[in-house]
Structure 1
Amino acid sequence: MERMEKLLYEASIEGNLTVLRMLLQEDPLILDRVTVNHHGDLPLHIASMLGHIDFVNEILTRKPQLAMEPDSHRRLPLHIASAKGHVELVRALVSASPETCLARDRDGRNPLHLAAIKGHCDVVKELSQAQPHAARALVQQDTILHLCVNHNQPEILKFLIETTGDHEFVNSKDSHGNSILHLAVVYRQIEIIKFLLHSTSIQVNASNTNGESPMDILVQGPRDLIYQQILQSLMRAGAVEAKMGNLIRQTPQNLDNNFGYYNMKHASSSHLKESLTNSEDWLDRKRNSLMVVASLIATMAFQAGTNPPSGVWQDTSTTDPLHKAGYAIMIFNHSTLYQVFLVCNTVGFVSTLSIILLLISGLPFLKHRVFLWILMVIMWIATTSMSLTYLISIWVLSPKPESEQTRHVAEGIVLVWIGLMTLLVVGHTIRLILIAMRGFRRLLFPRKRPIMRPIIMNHAGM
């Protein structure tokens, strides 16, 4: 008898129909006997795991009730087939026993839950069509939508919401009061967040058991590019920080103006903090942009210095000391212009190297706007120098007099551009001077503010 059971298990692993039929012919009760005496996986479970559709159909034809038989983990064959993504097997098992769609394993999950976790969209569609109520089953107070977010399955989430989702289902909360939007923000899943905000009736300002909205959870994480994208999406949808909103809503409307000003000042502290943070992020983005541009200009200047216009001599002349291999041809043909070209190119190269050195130094004063203005002036010097370098290169490489008119047009364009950049730098300089003058005036003539402590104490004592 043990030999026949061993042969049955081997046949289920291989999907061997011939051996299965031979064993059933010799012992029609072998499947029932194995089910009663089993201590591990059943043949139908093994075949369902390995995707042997013909083997499974043969067993279901003879013993359809085995589709309801659980293993040691309380998993039915449908659980295993769903987790593995075998669509035809799922269809066969559901046809044999439709109620298996609602069966739960030891962890409380039904086959639809397992298919959603594993991302098998075709299986999810099959099970949802066979038993729509399976999508409403909870797993330790988590809905199937929470499971989709926890395992980053946006396609499954979209399908379930579009087919079975309503306002109450979409806004369901887990044991900690988190909606699926809370979880998507925690895991920084941009695709899911945008879908929920644009295509569902998700409540963007719902609070969990800690009184935190999705915006509150977002501001606790790192401030990177993903943070900026999520922040913009939430703000467009009208999201706010729950704690700040509670402070504003709880401010009494019948208090006097001074006390109301005091409360509103403290209630808006989070706004002030967010503004400072946005200012720092803006400075960081500007510094990063300057680093990229400076690196590109430095590369261009180095290339122009080592390979000047007209190139270098490839041979050495015995009559002319300037005609040597590796020397610039421009020295021989345009000695004066070459000196100007070399000075402009060197100024641009050194300017960009200075920007790179200052940005990577990590000095504390680098976070001030004045320093950003200084970097901008240095960048203006670098770009102007490279513009003049380009202009000299065009002058040297253009034949005369055939290209004289075109060359004059190029000169005019470059000079106009330099003029516009000069006006921009002067404008920023004047603006910075005005800001500095206002700061000095506030320092010399501080504005007196009304004392509100007695008013606050009176209200506190009420």
Structure 2
Amino acid sequence: MDQSLRDAAQQGNIDALYTSIRRDVKVLDRIDELPFVETPLHVAASAGYIQFALEIMRLKPSFSRKCNEDGFTPVHLALQNNKTEVVRQLLDVDEDLVRVQGRGGVTPLHYVAQTGNLHLLAEFRKVCPMSIKDVTIRGETVFHFALNNNKLDAFELLIRWLQQTTLEDASSLWENKLLNWKNEKGNTLLHIAVSNNQPQASSLHS
């Protein structure tokens, strides 16, 4: 990325962004051509510059789904840096960003289940209920993430999400399949709950 453009993103300076565009009208297009790249949206989301992030997303919506060289999207980076308002604003523009897979197939929802942020979990449930179905390349569901990190409140919220949300293909068979899903090590939620001495979790999904 051009250094002046990077500086603009790091400072949240929209005027400087357009100075870069006037100097080179294809500056954003060249970034977009790369399959894995740090974009100005990654930088702004990490730093918490909401207006700059929204302006970039308006100019280049594809940036919001692009992974950097480490396999993280702008929403992943915003979450990692506790810039939750940036996350909310980006989801206002594109709700499906909750489901975009980054490194290892981890979605923003997986990350929030891991950290146990109940407010964001509730918001993710509202904007993208289907995201609860997503599984990583290690065969981990959001429930695995919550239990493995001892986030029992998050686990309970996710169970209620699963039980109460009406999905197009929802059925008890589908729910049972998800709750009995095995990760790459063959561990179900019950295995994890027993291993971690989480009796309330094992009783919740039994």
> TM-score w.r.t. structure 1 length?
0.38
Instruction: Tell me, yes or no, if structure 1 residue 105 matches structure 2 residue 114.
Output: no
**Aligned match for 2:147, one of 146, 149, 172:** 149
Please tell me whether residue 182 in structure 1 is matched to residue 180 in structure 2.
Answer: no
Cα gap change, 1:8 to 1:38, in 2 (>3 Å): farther
1:13 Cα offset (Å): 1.7
Tell me if 1:194 matches 2:194: no
Work out the CA distance in 2 between the residues paired with 1:86 and 1:112.
15
Structure 1 unmatched ranges of 5 or more: 203-462
In 1, Cα distance between equivalents of 2:36 and 2:194: 44
- AA of the residue aligned to 2:12: G
Q: Report deviation, 1:195.
A: 4.8
Measure the CA separation in 1 of the matches of 2:34 and 2:191.
47
Q: What are the within-5 Å matches in structure 2 for residues 30-429 of structure 1?
A: 30-36=27-33, 40-139=37-136, 140-165=138-163, 168=176, 169-189=178-198, 193-197=199-203, 200-202=204-206
Counterparts of 2:132 and 2:78, CA distance in 1: 17
Using the TM superposition, give the Cα deviation of residue 159 of structure 1 relative to its aligned residue in structure 2, in angstroms: 0.9
| 2:168 alignment counterpart | none
Q: Deviations over 1:350-372 (max 9, x none)?
A: xxxxxxxxxxxxxxxxxxxxxxx
2-structure distance, mates of 1:143, 1:38 = 26
Compared CA separation, residues 28 and 120, structure 1 to 2 (3 A): farther
Distance, in Å, in 2 between the alignment partners of 1:127 and 1:86 is 15
Structure holding more helix per residue: 1
Q: Which one-letter code corresponds to 1:181 in the other structure?
A: L
Q: Distance in 1 between matches of 2:80 and 2:71?
A: 14
Task: Pick closer, same or farther for the CA change 1:201–1:149 going to 2, 3 Å.
Answer: closer
Deviations 1:299-333 (A, max 9, x none): xxxxxxxxxxxxxxxxxxxxxxxxxxxxxxxxxxx
Q: Higher relative contact order at CA 8 Å, sep ≥6: structure 1 or structure 2? A: 2
**Aligned-pair distance for 1:112?**
0.8
One-letter amino acid of the structure 2 residue matched with residue 194 of structure 1 = Q
In the other structure, the counterpart of 2:169 is: none
Structure possessing the higher radius of gyration over alpha carbons: 1
Counterpart-to-counterpart distance in 2, 1:15 and 1:118: 27
Q: Distance in 2 between matches of 1:161 and 1:39?
A: 35
Identity across matched positions, percent: 26
The change in CA–CA distance for 1:176 and 1:64 in structure 2 (over 3 A counts) is closer
RMSD: 2.6
Task: Give the counterpart of 1:24 among 21, 26, 31.
Answer: 21
Distance change (3 Å), C-alpha of 1:125 and 1:86: farther
Kindly provide the CA deviation profile for residues 374-428 of structure 1, in whole angstroms up to 9, marking residues without a partner as x. xxxxxxxxxxxxxxxxxxxxxxxxxxxxxxxxxxxxxxxxxxxxxxxxxxxxxxx
Q: C-alpha displacement at 1:196, in angstroms? A: 4.1
Query: Unpaired runs of 5+ in structure 2?
Result: 164-171
1:7 is aligned, of 4, 8, 27, to 4
Shift of 1:57: 1.1
Equivalents in 1 of 2:50, 2:57: separation in Å? Answer: 10
Cα gap change, 1:101 to 1:55, in 2 (>3 Å) = same
Question: Structure 2: how far apart are the matches of 1:20 and 1:133?
Answer: 36
Q: Relative to structure 1, is the Cα distance of residues 138 and 27 closer, same or farther in structure 2, using a 3 angstrom cutoff?
A: same
1:76-123, CA deviations, whole angstroms, 9 ceiling, x for partnerless residues? 222222344433222332233333332212301112112212223222
Instruction: Compute the displacement of 1:56 (Å).
Output: 0.2
Change (3 A) 1:170 1:59: same
Distance in 2 between the 1:170 and 1:89 partners? Answer: 31
In structure 2, the partner of 1:386 is none
State the 1:201 CA deviation: 4.1
Distance of 1:129 and 1:82 partners within structure 2:
18
Are the equivalent residues in 2 in contact too, given 1:8–1:43 (CA < 8 A)? yes
Aligned twin of 1:372? none
Aligned length: 194
Counterpart CA distance in 2 for 1:63 and 1:173 is 38
- 8 Å CA contact 1:81–1:89 kept in 2: the answer is yes
- TM-score (normalizing by structure 2): 0.79
